[in-house]
A and B are shown apart, each in its own frame.
Chain A
Amino acid sequence: MDSLHRDETNNHVEAALKSGRSTVVRRNKAHLYGTMNANVSEPVSEAAQMDGLLVAVGKHRDRGAFQRLFDFFAPRLKAYVMRLGAADDVAEELVQEAMLMVWRRAETYDPGQARASTWVFTIARNKRIDAIRRAKRPEPDMNDPSFMPEEVQPADRFVEAAQDEERVKEALKNLPEEQAELIRQVYFQDKSHRVIAAETGLPLGTVKSRIRLALKKMRLTIEERDNAGTSP
C-alpha cells in the first residue's frame, strides 16, 4: 500500500520543476491576461485574483490569502462534488481535504502554467476519485524513468497557456446547447460516453461524434488547433 499515498500532485510538481521560466515570459503572460481583462471591461476579475493569492500562500504561507481562496473555492468545490452525487457531509469533508492539499502544495503552483481554478480543479478531482476508489488515481510521473519529456521550449508554453484559457472560455460560451450539455455531463455528472449512450438510448457512435464535434469547435484537440493555424 505504498504508492497509494505517494505525492498526489506529481503533475504540478512536474510543472514547477520543468518551468525554467524567465521574467520575460512572465511579462508576456501578464500582458495577455491584461488584454483579456481589458476586453471584458472589468478590472481584474475575482477569479483572476486567485492566481496571485495562491502564489502568496505558496511563498509566504499567507493565511489571509488562504482565507480568500477558501471563500472563493470552497462553495464552488462543494457544489462540484455534490453535483457528482456526494451527500452534504461527505462533500464538506472532501472540500476540507482538497483545501488542505491546496495549502500544503501551494508552493508547487506555477501561475504561468495554469490558472488557480484549473490547479484546484485537478486537486479536487483526484481527491474525490481517491476517496471513491480508496486507491490513488494513476497519473504520469515526470520522475519516472520511462517518462517521455516534451520538446517544446518552456517560453512557448506560457504564452500558449494564457491563449488556451481565453479560447476555452469563449468557445464554451458559444457552444450549441446540445454539445454544452454533453460536456457538463462528463465534467459535472461523471458520465462517460458509454453511460450517456446507455442512458439516452443514443448509439455510442452518435454520442462520441457529438463530443468530438464539441472538442473540435473549442479547438481543444491538438490536431485541430494546429491545423487551424493563425486564425482567431
Chain B
Amino acid sequence: MPVHHPEPERLMEYAAGAASPAMDVLIAAHLSLCPTCRKTVERLERMGGHMLESLGSDEDVVSMSPGAFDALLEKLDLPEEAPQAAAGDEIDPLPGVDLPAPIRETLRNLERPLEWRNRGKGIEEAEIPLPVDVDDSVRMSLLRIQPGRAVLEHTHDGGEELTMVLAGGFSDEHGHYVRGDVQTGDDELIHKPIADEGEVCVCLAVVEGNLRFTGPVGRVLNLFMRT
C-alpha cells in the first residue's frame, strides 16, 4: 500500500471536479492503488452530495423549463449507445509496466505513440498531450530513470510537481517512494530524487507551472458542444 499520498486539497479537488485533466489522471491512478485515499474521496463526494441537497431554498434552485420531464420520458426507453471497442485495446502502451487503468486508458487514447526523448544522465521523458483546458501551464509526462541515476536538482518556480511511481522506486531527502507513492514538490522543496539500484524507475509526473491568471472564470465554458 502506498505510504506517500497526494495532499488532502488535491483529493478534494478531484472529488469536487475542480482538478485539471492531468491531475485527474494522476489522482485516479493513485486511488486505484490506495484504498485509504479512496475512502477519503468517498467522504469528500458525500460532502458534494450534501451541498447539492442543501440547495433547497427558492433562491438557490433553478427551475427546469416546462416540458423538460416529458422530453426526458421519451428518451427513457431508447437503447443506450453501446461503447465501441477501439482498435488499440489490445495494445500494451508501456510494455513491462503494470499500469493502473486511468493511465493505461489515457495512453491508449493518444493519437500518436509515446515519443521518448533523452534528457541525459540516464533519464528519458515522454510527454502526454492533454485534453484542452484553460490552464495551459500544466504538463504531464512519463519519466524513465535508469537504476541509481539522479534527476537534476530542481525547484518549481511558483508551481508544483506531483510524481507518482509506477515501477521501481526512488529516494529523496523526504523518504523512499515505491509503486503508488506520490511525491509533491513545490517552491520550498529543492529536491534531488535518486532512482533505486537494480531496477528502472518509471514515474508519471504532472507539473503545474506558474499559473497565469487572466480572467474571473475558472473554466472555459463555451467549450460545451451542443449535440
A-B complex is real: yes
* A interface residue numbers (CB < 8 A to B): 1-7, 47, 63, 66-67, 70-71, 73-80, 82, 84-88, 90-93, 95-96, 99-100, 103-104, 114-122, 124-126, 128-129, 131-141, 144-152, 161, 164-165, 168-169, 172, 183-184, 186-195, 197-199, 204, 208, 211-212, 215, 218, 220-222
B68 to A92, Cβ gap below 8 A? Answer: yes
B213 to A164, Cβ gap below 8 A? Answer: no
B225 to A134, Cβ gap below 8 A? Answer: yes
Binds A, one of B48-56, B112-120, B145-153, B168-176: B48-56
Interface size on B, residues (CB 8 A): 94
> What DSSP secondary structure best describes chain A's contact surface?
helix
- Please give, as numbers and ranges, the residues of chain A lying within 8 Å of B92 by CB-CB distance: none
A198 closest partner in B (C-beta): B213
A190 to B131, Cβ gap below 8 A? Answer: no
- Tell me, in angstroms, the Cα distance from A147 to B105 when the chains sit together: 14
B50 to A2, Cβ gap below 8 A? Answer: no
A75 to B32, Cβ gap below 8 A? Answer: no
B17 to A76, Cβ gap below 8 A? Answer: no
B28 to A114, Cβ gap below 8 A? Answer: no
A195 to B211, Cβ gap below 8 A? Answer: yes
- Please give, as numbers and ranges, the residues of chain A lying within 8 Å of B9 by CB-CB distance: 193, 208, 211-212, 215
- Tell me, in angstroms, the Cα distance from A3 to B55 when the chains sit together: 33
- Tell me, in angstroms, the Cα distance from A122 to B14 when the chains sit together: 11
- Please give, as numbers and ranges, the residues of chain B lying within 8 Å of A194 by CB-CB distance: 135, 159, 208, 211
- Please give, as numbers and ranges, the residues of chain B lying within 8 Å of A187 by CB-CB distance: 16, 18, 47-48, 51
| CB pairs A–B below 8 angstroms (22 shown) | A4-B109, A5-B84, A63-B76, A67-B69, A82-B62, A85-B221, A87-B221, A96-B68, A117-B49, A131-B225, A132-B221, A132-B224, A134-B223, A137-B17, A138-B25, A138-B102, A139-B102, A164-B42, A188-B51, A194-B208, A198-B211, A222-B39
B32 to A135, Cβ gap below 8 A? Answer: no
- Tell me, in angstroms, the Cα distance from A194 to B184 when the chains sit together: 14
